[in-house]
Structure 1
Amino acid sequence: MGEKWTTADIPDQRGRVAVVTGANTGLGYETARALAGRGASVVLAVRDTGKGERAAARMGGDVTVQELDLASLDSVRAAAAELRSRLDRLDLLINNAGVMYTPKRTTADGFEMQFGTNHLGHFALTGLLLDLMLPVPGSRVVTVSSTGHRIRAAVHFDDLHWERSYSRVAAYGQSKLANLMFTYELQRRLAARGTTVAVAAHPGLSDTELTRNAPAALRLPVTWMAPLITQTPAMGALPTLRAATDPGVLGGQYYGPGGRTEVKGHPRLVASSPESYEVAVQQRLWAVSEDLTGVTFPVGAVATA
């Protein structure tokens, strides 16, 4: 397979079932559309079901809609219960939805909005759906991170919800670093099962509405230079699609744009920050996430040296 991986390289997805969060617009829409176009049965898991229905109608294919608000654990539990009643298997769970650079706000459960939505909501959803995936050979959990995981990023266990002070950029970085640490720890737990793998991806700098909350100092240059430094949502979705469908993908890998500085380009295997690979921090984050969400996974911890 050549380096310029595109949607033409997606294998036949007939018979496969995918759930894509945040799929009514942007990267999630393009991801879901491509999967449906290759024959998958796709569930758009979205906050606004009206927008979801309109997106599904534009996609065509076997596409349905599920209400899901990742900023509410009650909504996550309700969505998972409904999906479990509707589906007898799940091949792909694509944790795509996210918020970026929001003003200081909390979720329905009192979590900082970016950490609560981007990480904890997806952590809970994955844990509640994983037993639909474990019996399915070749099933994958794909979680979308960001190059933002490198920017002022650390997991602030002493103030996870930024109650003492708040930086929207650092809080976003924490949430995206958490996405990667979750992927790597989940893969460690899944490895012995041999059926399901956990993979991560990032879209580079894509021209979507996600940056609407960015500080003006960041938003204005991006808007002005967009044609030069950003790529379309369809291109931005390619790393996620490769992580989800390329037969050569291995658990624990990370895919992003292949261009310089990973801003744009066709998807390839990339590396995340050194901090993201710290096993002790991954395991601590996992324990804290189970505690905060009340969700325990059907795969146990693995001893490490």
Structure 2
Amino acid sequence: CRLLLEPGDTVVLDDPCYFNFQALLRAHRARIVSVPYTPNGPDLARFEQVLAEHRPRLYITNSALHNPTGATLAPPVAHRLLTLAAEHGLLIVEDDIFADFESTPAPRLAAFDGLSRVVSIGSFSKTLSAAIRCGYVAARPEWIDALVDLKLATSFGNAQIGANVVHRLLVDGTYRRHLDSLRAQLADAMGETIRRLARAGLGIWTEPRGGLFVWAELPDGLDAARVARHALDHDVVLAPGDVFSASHCATSFMRFNVSRCKGPAVFDALARAMDAARAAERSGRTLADER
């Protein structure tokens, strides 16, 4: 953001999207415009309209294993996105932090584009440890040079120990073996989470190709924020949809992290929270009354 944006620039985000994108952009005083996200990628008609009306500088997205929906960008949508980006002078940041969770990689905007106007970023914090702050950037050579200068100016270096650990794991094959095991565990957790959510009456928005997240709609038009509030009474933290939606249009949706859904505890708490939310709605109590 520091390299590509000036205060007041407009940035396009998916709706829903990773909530920290919104916080980061507000900290940089950027203007946010959101585009509805579908199981195949952003709504292209709305995307084109936003480009024409708002002339954004940047689009930030997860093209594979999208956070929070788990969706993966379809190749025809990717080609159209890049055509529109070229026509309107739009730059794209492709946050590929979940790339290694895929057993069969999906096409990437950066690959289709040849790094002309796409910056691809990734990290090992999801696959190894959040404590390892090590990632990578693929972009035009002149942008890489500028990013290195910016990195040195703002942090005087990098986390060398973490980088050395990652390098060793990559070159000796440990990382690849770890990923094989991790993907298998997540695939089992994904299947079990989807089955349990369906039995609880939730609608699965799309079945992800892999990764961590399931995006699901609560039954009976229940308010996800209300359900999440009641789940806290059972010491279970749930992620209501509007946290991820700049337009607050995901009121009845929730994101579930399958790695945190092992065993019955989350689903038992979810069932009790939905029952409590239904009772509160029947009594006419508002969410504010319950706080």
| TM norm. shorter chain > 0.5 | no
Compute the TM-score of the two structures, normalised by the length of structure 2: 0.38
Compute the TM-score of the two structures, normalised by the length of structure 1: 0.37
Q: Name the one with the larger strand percent.
A: 2
Structure number with higher relative contact order (C-alpha < 8 Å, ≥ 6 residues apart): 1
